[in-house]
Structure 1
Amino acid sequence: MSLSLSENSASFKEWQITRPLTMDIYFFNWTNPEDINNPDIKPRFVEVGPYRLSNIREKVNITWNPHNDTVTYKQLLGYYFDETSPGNFSDVITTIDMVAISLAQRTKDAFFFVKDSAKFALMFSEIYMRATAREMLGGFKHSLVTAANALNFLTGENAPDKFGWFYTPNLTVGFDGVFNVKTKAGSDFGTLQSWNYNNVTSMFKDECGQVQGSAGEFYPQHLKRDHITYFSADFCRPLEFTYEKDVVIKDIPSYKYSASDAIFDNGTKIPKNKCFCTEKCYPSGVMDNSPCRNGVPVFSSLPHFYYADKSYVDKVEGLNPQKEKHEFYFTLEPEIGVITSTAARLQLNVLLQPLPDFQLFKRVPELIFPIFWTEQKVDLYDEHASGIRLLLMAPTINKVFSIVLIVTGLLSISYVSLIMYFNEKRVTKSKLPKVDIPLK
């Protein structure tokens, strides 16, 4: 029994355009921004939400390469407001001003004219921003964005005209790179052969810069109870998920793999991870995404700093990490290597630190500041589960099974583009077919 993907397979259309999936966003509402310069008072947060978005992915510019059994493609990603959202999009949220932090961080070492321009713009800013959930997600006019765009040497040619975590102008979305994936059966089925035409990245050194692992939708057969590797274009690096236990999903025996130190350690517990350190090695539990985000000091973690060093939670108030609510895992049927369920949860944080040359940040504490976390939970579709159970009952069938995409959207959902706003240097714009009300 073997698996493959081809343009003639019944599953091709489902692989090409995923079913719409929902994503829940929980914001950390900052309740005491006026105390940020007081070293005796910690930032306090109240979790609000969830605010629900729908997203779709479409593979485009697909090229089949029979000489090496691979397929090359790009991918469109679009987000839409889901009006069945449990949280009200009109809720007002207070959080750190990400535009102000980005501007200060990206100009702190610039030559004096650029730096002085940024300092002048920041003179009239607050350290926090306040907007509705709809605006935070879908975009709103921000005075600093307007000012920075007026001085395009601060932002570049493709800078957005609004700030929003999932804002893309003119119904466009960004490509997250050029993928080349193995399509034929074997131990490397579904693995990424190159990303952006390279098998290494410039973001991380040594082994940490290798393009390796699954592209997120297919995995090799005959999995072992150790670990599996996924390459995340959103983080420009491979992610290693660790085997946790055997489980049964809709009567299908599966292996559960979870995010742990193998992903979020920076060399303090796992020496080989030290090459993921950039300017500084942080305690275990956060992933520095700045090399992949144009130097913006963005960090990922599990929600509420679950599985992270205690120091992160100790510097703030209102966070309460719990395994059941905040773990990130997915399960796979080990013989075929298909995903049977996932609970994809990731938190977006930003590094807040004193910047002596900027009055706004001169006396702030140094901490990893939580902004929001996302959750996408999907189980195997019933019609796909029955097909897999039948397939497992007939292991002697010697044919190529054009895989029904149980995985459609399951793991591609998981490594969500947390910050579309700061992705402009890796974005190619293209029209997205209208499916729902876009984020605007």
Structure 2
Amino acid sequence: MITTSEKTEADLSVFESVESEVRSYCRSFPTVFEKAKGYKLWDTRGVEFIDFFSGAGALNYGHNDPVMKKKLIEYLSDDGIVHSLDMATTAKEQFLKRFKEVILDPRNLDYKVMFPGPTGTNTVESALKLARKVTGRNTVISFTRAFHGMTLGSLSVTGNAFKRKGAGIPLTHTVSMPYDNYDDHVDSLTLLERYLEDKGSGVDLPAAIILETVQGEGGINVASSEWLKQVEQICRRWDILLIVDDVQAGCGRTGTFFSFEPAGIRPDLVCLSKSLSGFGVPFAVTLLRPDLDQWAPGEHNGTFRGHNLAFLAATEALRFWETDTFEQEVQRKGKETRSSLEQMVENHPDLNGEVRGRGLMLGIAFSGKGFADKVCAEAFQRGLIMETSGPDGEVAKLLPPLIIDDEGLEKGLAILEESITETKKTL
């Protein structure tokens, strides 16, 4: 494989001189990308990369799926409607019908579908707003190391101190509690119940509890099914709404379409985005129990909540879920990838690595400060794109496209192993 070191450096001058300093991913992957297909990308110099990043989880079905692409091209060639706010269109109609038939009905889930806007933070904002409207309460409980978005409401239930500071104002009406396995000496849910029972705790009865079953940006922390069931029980006991943020962990990333399926829980509201469109087109939905659908028309809206190209691609993406074949393949690949990561940890005991995750949402947490960053930088030089996560960037995070074949997985994992070995030499 051609590596970046074998080519001249990419010209990034226009990005450095014109684009805002807020840019981030382009600093980790300093090249100009030009083409992508499946699980591979190529830059303007012809360098090939294996993608273990998948647009931060927005490309579960890979780049430029040929069937979706064909549908989109035909739709545009026929002058299909692209922008329509929340008006009824054939593209929206098809999506709603197929989503109900393929996803909701087989899982016995009775949800209304709300289109809040095009991004993950839009769906979280709408869920928080609706929970407060329906219950008449202000407080929302979230968990340590959570990430729910970058707008003010979503940021208020996000744990990362650096991102919270960027708000510039106090983030109020939220309480953060310890996530599952946050501290071996703290029973987080017993603590939560005591707070709710004690009228002197200073914690008001919340409108909702919001959580990720697998925390992506927070460090690939996995909540156990037992813990999730306990959270649900607390919600039912106290008449608190349960919101599951499945923006990154959903759409098959953890091995089932919804990440909460193995736990057998039924959230009151579910937030979906990222890979929902199937093609990387901005798209989000909020799923809500029918009795919670108490919005007045237009009470929550957005100019781009009716993106017909997203409806079209998302409808086509549902073909992966018509049978359980795709789901089983994701789970198989996830188990094999975890096994490979565990072998890497065993090969390098001095690094005190820990394998985390579920399905194809995996990572290795390293104890050494900055080590994961160096591993990902080395991997990039060798033709593999991956990022870090966790409060201190301590986790080398793997989000390969779910459609990746065994050869691609093996090549990418081999590069990761080489990168760990090479990075150790710098210690």
Provide TM-score, normalisation by structure 1: 0.25
Higher relative contact order (CA 8 A, sep 6+): 2
Provide TM-score, normalisation by structure 2: 0.26
Indicate the structure with greater strand content. 1
Indicate the structure with greater helix content. 2
